[in-house]
């Protein structure tokens, strides 16, 4: 079943399975970020221009809820892999759903638009966390190559993140492609749907290469580690069936109530409800984890570590994910977007983070590998990551001051900010993925990876809300607020380093 062993070193010193997972995730992120790059623009574009003609408030609400739900669903996907399908099959079917989602989005009707988003949400839930879990399963628990492996893998994530917007964005919006369409006798307003189509093709490529690399997957990826007996499997099936029936019943009720005029479901209403859902999920999940779960004392200590890292990540993503909200608006409204006298679209600056990751991830992978046993602990790297993020927010505070008179500032401010953010991200994100895979009890490995992305889900939601304050608060207040909050938690993380390290060593 599996040909990959922990001492296989044929992919840059790592098992060959890592290359399969690298490219699977690269294509998945190609489709995710490719589509995300123009999603809000498509929703707000006038109907005559092929868009949906949504007011910006509605578009923002749909966008924020979509991004938060995508990451929230990785927890469900993790449970499904742990208890029903196993990791390998979950990733495959997740990819299939994502591809179908983008195909649905490529069809120009409002119904297929929402159906497409829903399919991408469920598909990413099944794929994203589980593909990250399999990376960890390639290594023996004590293998020191794990952090370096996640740094390499993270480069795949961002290679997709960089190329997706360039390709899908050009198809959806580029003037050159619109002319090609006109040459084919098609209306240029149809261009958006070729962008969605490109995302579907990207996911298809990912599926093909994932299937070809099936044999390189570790044995653990082929079994649901949390349901090893027939009784446990039957129990999982019952739980899944109940949840599916419950969700379908709720959806039918909601649609009925809406059509009878009893309730009015609006995008902004759903976005508001989502704030409460996320809060409830975080409190409910950790409440269950610490009060309800049956863990050994060693596992319990590791779960405390996971909780602290989760919280650090939540703070990190809340500011970091503002790249798509406040920083994007700053790029659009307050930045002089010209280079050597030639102007470029503000959205190009969205690629800078991924570009820096691609450039620097190998450097970080090398550093962690070189340090070997002297490699800093995960909480130390988290604290460093938070300090870099605070410094990036401080740079933006200075940029906001420079822009306060209404002057358009140099793009170098944003580029400097993204550079510092990227260094912080490289200290925290691949390290967090790696820590989750190392610390989680094996039978809940998928679920715990989902918890990592729950932090990203909340972060995206907060980032969306802060973006909503762009016109009501001064920019120095927003960026100053970011700086102070992140700095506070960076210092807190420093104080926690020793106790957390002690817990990790004794667990
Ligand atoms: N950009 C990274 C990815 O897409 C991290 C996203 C996140 O976890 N917030 O995987």
Q: Which of 432, 421, 410, 495 is nearest to 463 (CA)?
A: 421
- For the stretch 339-368, what's the b/e string if a residue is b when 16 or more beta carbons lie within 10 angstroms of its beta carbon? eeeeeeebbbbbbbbbebbbebbeebbebb
Tokens encoding 92: 């495959």
Q: Which of 346, 24, 29, 358 is nearest to 161 (CA)?
A: 29
Q: What is the mean pLDDT of the chain?
A: 90
Segment 347-372 shows an average pLDDT of: 85
312-354: pLDDT as tens digits: 999 999 999 988 788 988 988 899 988 888 777 777 788 899 9
Segment 23-36 shows an average pLDDT of: 94
Segment 185-210 shows an average pLDDT of: 95
Segment 293-304 shows an average pLDDT of: 89
What pLDDT, on a 0 to 100 scale, did the predictor assign at position 223? Answer: 85
pTM of the entire predicted model: 0.86
Would you say residue 11 lies in a domain?
no
What pLDDT, on a 0 to 100 scale, did the predictor assign at position 6? Answer: 60
What pLDDT, on a 0 to 100 scale, did the predictor assign at position 2? Answer: 44
Would you say residue 136 lies in a domain?
yes
Ligand 1 atom with the smallest distance to the CA of 128 is 10
What pLDDT, on a 0 to 100 scale, did the predictor assign at position 443? Answer: 85
The number of domains in the chain is 1
What pLDDT, on a 0 to 100 scale, did the predictor assign at position 4? Answer: 46
Would you say residue 3 lies in a domain?
no
What pLDDT, on a 0 to 100 scale, did the predictor assign at position 344? Answer: 72
CA distance 29 to 124: 10
Q: How far is the CA of 247 from the centre of ligand 1 (A)?
A: 27
86-138: pLDDT as tens digits: 999 999 999 999 999 999 999 999 999 999 999 999 999 999 999 999 999 99
Ligand 1 atom with the smallest distance to the CA of 452 is 8
Segment 192-213 shows an average pLDDT of: 96
Pocket test for ligand 1, best of 456, 462, 463 (most atoms within 8 A of CB): 456
Q: How far is the CA of 505 from the centre of ligand 1 (A)?
A: 28
Q: What angle do CA 159, 454, 157 make, to 5 degrees?
A: 5
Q: How far is the CA of 227 from the centre of ligand 1 (A)?
A: 29
Q: How far is the CA of 275 from the centre of ligand 1 (A)?
A: 20
Domain interval for residue 416: 17-506
Segment 390-407 shows an average pLDDT of: 95
CA distance 133 to 25: 12
Segment 402-417 shows an average pLDDT of: 94
> pLDDT exceeding 90 applies to what percent of the chain?
54
**In this predicted structure, which of 3-17, 203-217, 373-387, 433-447 has the lowest mean pLDDT?**
3-17
What pLDDT, on a 0 to 100 scale, did the predictor assign at position 3? Answer: 42
Segment 236-258 shows an average pLDDT of: 89
Q: How far is the CA of 232 from the centre of ligand 1 (A)?
A: 33
| CATH code (residue 220) | 1.20.1250.20
Segment 209-234 shows an average pLDDT of: 89
In this structure, the residue with its CA closest to atom 3 of ligand 1 is 157
463-486: pLDDT as tens digits: 878 887 887 889 999 999 999 999
State the helix-helix crossing angle for 56-80 and 445-467, rounded to 10 degrees: 170
Check whether 499 has a pLDDT greater than 80: yes
Would you say residue 379 lies in a domain?
yes
Would you say residue 5 lies in a domain?
no
What pLDDT, on a 0 to 100 scale, did the predictor assign at position 386? Answer: 98
What pLDDT, on a 0 to 100 scale, did the predictor assign at position 56? Answer: 73
Would you say residue 466 lies in a domain?
yes
């Amino acid at each position: 079943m599996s040909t990959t062993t922990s001492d296989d070193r044929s992919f840059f010193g790592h098992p060959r399975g890592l290359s399969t997972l690298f490219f699977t995730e690269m294509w998945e992120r190609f489709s995710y970020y490719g589509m995300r790059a123009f999603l809000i623009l498509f929703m707000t574009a006038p109907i005559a221009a092929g868009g949906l003609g949504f007011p910006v408030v509605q578009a923002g609400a749909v966008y924020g809820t979509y991004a938060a739900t995508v990451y929230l669903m990785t927890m469900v996907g993790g449970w499904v892999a742990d208890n029903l399908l196993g990791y390998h099959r979950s990733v495959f079917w997740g990819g299939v759903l994502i591809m179908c989602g983008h195909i649905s989005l490529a069809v120009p009707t409002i119904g297929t638009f929402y159906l497409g988003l829903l399919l991408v949400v469920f598909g990413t839930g099944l794929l994203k966390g589980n593909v990250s879990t399999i990376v960890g399963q390639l290594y023996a628990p004590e293998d020191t190559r794990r952090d370096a492996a996640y740094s390499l893998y993270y480069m795949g994530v961002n290679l997709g993140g960089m190329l997706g917007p360039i390709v899908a964005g050009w198809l959806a919006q580029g003037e050159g492609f619109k002319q090609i369409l006109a040459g084919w006798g098609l209306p240029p307003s149809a261009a958006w749907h070729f962008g969605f189509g490109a995302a579907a093709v990207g996911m298809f490529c990912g599926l093909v290469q994932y299937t070809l690399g099936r044999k390189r997957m570790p044995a653990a990826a082929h079994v649901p580690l949390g349901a090893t007996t027939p009784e446990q499997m039957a129990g999982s099936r019952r739980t899944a069936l109940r949840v599916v029936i419950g969700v379908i019943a709720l959806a039918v009720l909601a649609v009925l109530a809406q059509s009878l005029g009893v309730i009015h479901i609006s995008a902004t209403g759903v976005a508001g409800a989502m704030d409460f859902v996320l809060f409830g999920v975080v409190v409910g999940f950790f409440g269950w984890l610490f009060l309800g779960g049956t863990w050994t004392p060693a596992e319990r200590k590791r779960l405390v570590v996971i909780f602290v890292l989760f919280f650090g990540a939540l703070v990190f993503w809340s500011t970091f994910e503002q790249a798509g909200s406040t920083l994007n608006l700053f790029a659009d409204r307050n930045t002089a977007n010209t280079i050597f006298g030639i102007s470029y679209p503000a959205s190009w600056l969205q690629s800078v983070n991924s570009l820096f990751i691609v450039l620097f991830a190998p450097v970080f992978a090398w550093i962690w590998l070189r340090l070997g046993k002297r490699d800093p602990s995960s909480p130390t790297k988290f604290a460093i990551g938070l300090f870099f993020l605070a410094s990036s927010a401080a740079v933006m505070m200075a940029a906001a001051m420079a822009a306060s008179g209404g002057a358009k500032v140099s793009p170098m401010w944003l580029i400097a900010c993204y550079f510092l953010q990227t260094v912080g991200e490289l200290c925290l994100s691949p390290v967090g993925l790696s820590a989750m895979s190392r610390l989680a009890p094996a039978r809940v490995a998928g679920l715990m990876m989902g918890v990592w992305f729950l932090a990203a889900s909340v972060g995206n939601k907060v980032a969306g809300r802060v973006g909503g304050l762009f016109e009501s608060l001064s920019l120095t207040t927003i960026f100053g607020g970011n700086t102070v909050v992140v700095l506070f938690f960076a210092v807190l993380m420093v104080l926690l380093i020793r106790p957390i390290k002690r817990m990790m060593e004794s667990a």
